[in-house]
Amino acid sequence: MNEERYRTAPDFDQYLADVVSNRELWLSTYARAQVEDATVDAVRAAGKWRLAALSEDWCGDAFNTLPYVAKLVSMAPNLELRIFGRDANPDLMDSHLTNGARSIPVVILYDEEFRERGWWGPRPSELQDWFERIGRGMESTARYRELRRWYAMDRGRTALREIAAQLTKVCRSTSAGLPKLDRIA
Closest CA to 118 of 185, 62, 81, 166: 166
> Considering the entire predicted model, what is its pTM?
0.90
Number of C-beta neighbours around residue 14 at 10 A: 11
Residue type, 154: D
- Give the pLDDT confidence of 11-34 residue by residue, as tens digits: 999 999 999 999 999 999 999 999
pLDDT greater than 70 at residue 184:
no
Which of 24-33, 47-56, 174-183 is predicted least confidently?
A: 174-183
Provide the domain limits for residue 141: 3-175
- Give the pLDDT confidence of 78-128 residue by residue, as tens digits: 999 999 999 999 999 999 999 888 999 999 999 989 999 999 999 999 999
Between CA 98 and CA 132 the distance in angstroms is 11
Domain count, the chain: 1
**What CATH number is associated with residue 105?**
3.40.30.10
Interacting residues of 125 by C-beta distance below 8 A, sequence separation 6+: 158, 162, 184, 185
- Look at residue 183 and tell me if it is in a domain: no
